[in-house]
């Protein structure tokens, strides 16, 4: 089984005339179709809202596409809050889920009316002192500790996670928040990452629904929404079967009817905060083969590196690679596909069976639409690439230009050296 790129070699050759590789490209049609499917899968819940995790792909053009499909935004920093405001999101369209939060970020979140999701029990007092009140609508993040298990084994280890409150802290938090003026409450939990299982959300939902019934009964708090957060993954490997969002939505509905409806809580809204599922399959890193090396292994050097996509270097993560124009060629060569960083882990693939790669070939690195560009950095003085949007009509829109040397040196503008750098850049037409 092979993954199919959403652009052809001919398209990339034409695009590269205006936008040199490496570049990110996103599939507008795929993004929209997927967002519609998510909303259809949860249409049974009148209050449902998908809060796209901005940290996954913080590009305002892509955020506008999702907002037009009814999505809100999950933010974890002031700049993400600013991005969300800039594209037109307002008030409860924004969820602020941060941790170790600076006071200034709580102030800004409150100013724009975002729903604040408290990560820690001590943040109650910190928030009140910072903004002078407790908001009427507020959420708390829950961490059950231990390990999170499903029928197919251990999924993750919340007990090792820095996020969220214990159950005892959560109950006490609701009582205190209610006494300080909070009127509507939410519950938030994230217990496993990148699950490729239709059972994850329903299993998590069942646990949170039971917790919600217990919380409302014991504390008197009005549970208005339950946020299942993210964790719904994608099949990075071609032999994996992807999640069925309709089966997932149906499974959550069954738990809702089993637990919440009999408890008289059939008006609770369901929220999700997916980043990877919403965007990863619909973005790719396109790079060109520029060198080959034959020593103890066979290497293909490309013009992208880990600063463009760090997941393989950081996590050992698999990203499928298609050599454009050679989709049907036999996989009869084995390569390490590398970038140019001064780090030996700067590899997009290790001992990967691929067709014969010639210098000048374009490589399409799949499933890079989330936690791809967003995790970029500037080690070795490398510059971040452009981001492009493949529009529904087949045209291409530049949605973020590539960095230049001027961008890299811009923060030296208060230093004596900056004038010398400017002279150099001017002479090199940078």
Dihedral of CA 404/406/411/417: which sign?
positive
56, 73 contact by CB (below 8 A): no
Provide the whole-model pTM: 0.94
CA distance 290 to 165: 50
φ/ψ bin of 360: left (φ > 0), alpha (ψ from -120 to 50), beta (otherwise): left
CA distance 403 to 34: 30
Pick from 181, 188, 199: nearest CA to 132:
181
CA distance 90 to 35: 20
Give the model confidence (pLDDT) of 216-250 as tens digits: 999 999 999 999 999 999 999 999 999 999 999 99
pLDDT of residue 193: 83
pLDDT of residue 154: 43
297, 312 contact by CB (below 8 A): no
Q: DSSP letter string over 207-233? A: HHHHHHHHHHHHH---EEEEE--S-B-
28-279 maps to CATH 3.40.50.970: no
Map tokens 């001064």 to a residue: 342
CATH 2.40.37.10 segments of the chain:
281-405
Map tokens 């996954």 to a residue: 56
pLDDT of residue 149: 60
The alpha carbon of 312 is separated from its chain's Cα centroid by a whole number of angstroms, namely 16
Give the model confidence (pLDDT) of 333-358 as tens digits: 999 999 999 999 999 999 999 999 99
- CATH label, 281-405, candidates 3.40.640.10, 1.10.3080.10, 2.40.37.10, 3.90.1200.10: 2.40.37.10
Q: 353: which 2 tokens?
A: 């069976």
pLDDT of residue 150: 53
CATH 3.20.20.10 segments of the chain:
28-279
C-alpha neighbours within 13 Å on the C-beta side of residue 11: 18
Digitized pLDDT (tens) for each residue of the chain, 430 residues in all: 689 999 999 999 999 999 999 999 999 999 999 999 999 999 999 999 999 999 999 999 999 999 999 999 999 999 999 999 999 999 999 999 999 999 999 999 999 999 999 999 999 999 999 999 999 999 999 988 756 565 555 445 665 678 899 999 999 999 999 999 999 999 999 888 889 999 999 999 999 999 999 999 999 999 999 999 999 999 999 999 999 999 999 999 999 999 999 999 999 999 999 999 999 999 999 999 999 999 999 999 999 999 999 999 999 999 999 999 999 999 999 999 999 999 999 999 999 999 999 999 999 999 999 999 999 999 999 999 999 999 999 999 999 999 999 999 999 988 888 888 788 788 877 7
Per DSSP bridges, beta strands 115-118 and 269-272 are unpaired
Helical (H) or strand (E) element with 295 = none
Map tokens 């530049």 to a residue: 398
């Amino acid at each position: 089984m092979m993954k199919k790129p959403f652009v052809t070699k001919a398209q990339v050759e034409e695009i590269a005339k205006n936008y040199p590789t490496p570049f990110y490209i996103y599939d507008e049609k795929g993004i929209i179709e997927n967002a519609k499917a998510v909303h259809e899968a949860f249409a049974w819940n009148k209050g449902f809202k998908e809060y796209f995790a901005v940290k996954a792909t913080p590009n305002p053009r892509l955020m506008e596409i999702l907002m037009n499909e009814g999505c809100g935004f999950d933010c974890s920093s002031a700049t993400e809050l600013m991005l969300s405001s800039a594209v037109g999101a307002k008030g409860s369209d924004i969820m602020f889920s941060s941790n170790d939060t600076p006071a200034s970020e709580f102030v800004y979140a409150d100013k724009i009316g975002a729903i604040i999701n408290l990560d820690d029990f001590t943040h109650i007092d910190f928030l009140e002192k910072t903004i002078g009140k407790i908001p009427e609508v507020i959420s708390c993040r829950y961490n059950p500790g231990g390990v999170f298990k499903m029928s197919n084994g251990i999924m993750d280890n919340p007990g090792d996670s820095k996020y969220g409150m214990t159950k005892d802290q959560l109950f006490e938090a609701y009582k205190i928040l209610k006494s300080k003026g909070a009127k509507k409450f939410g519950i938030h939990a994230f217990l496993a990452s990148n699950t490729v299982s239709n059972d994850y959300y329903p299993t998590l939902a069942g646990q949170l629904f039971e917790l919600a019934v217990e919380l409302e009964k014991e504390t008197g708090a009005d549970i208005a929404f339950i946020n299942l957060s993210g964790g719904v993954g994608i099949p990075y490997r071609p032999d994996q079967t992807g999640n069925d969002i309709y089966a997932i939505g149906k499974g959550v509905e069954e738990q809702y009817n089993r637990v919440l409806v009999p408890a008289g809580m059939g008006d609770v809204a369901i929220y999700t905060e997916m980043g990877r599922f919403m965007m990863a399959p619909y973005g790719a890193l396109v790079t060109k083969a520029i060198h080959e090396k034959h020593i103890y292994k066979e290497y293909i050097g490309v013009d992208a590196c880990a600063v463009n996509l760090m997941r393989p270097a950081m996590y050992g993560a698999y990203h499928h690679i298609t050599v454009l124009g050679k989709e049907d060629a036999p996989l009869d060569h084995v390569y390490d596909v590398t970038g140019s960083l001064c780090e030996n882990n700067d590899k997009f693939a290790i001992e990967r069976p691929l067709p014969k790669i010639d210098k000048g070939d374009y490589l399409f690195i799949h499933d890079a639409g989330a936690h791809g560009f967003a995790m970029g950095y500037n080690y070795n003085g490398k510059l971040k690439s452009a981001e492009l949007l493949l529009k529904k009509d087949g045209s291409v829109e530049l949605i973020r230009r590539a960095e230049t040397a001027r961008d890299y040196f811009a923060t030296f503008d208060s230093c004596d050296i900056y004038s010398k750098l400017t002279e150099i850049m001017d002479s090199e037409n940078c």
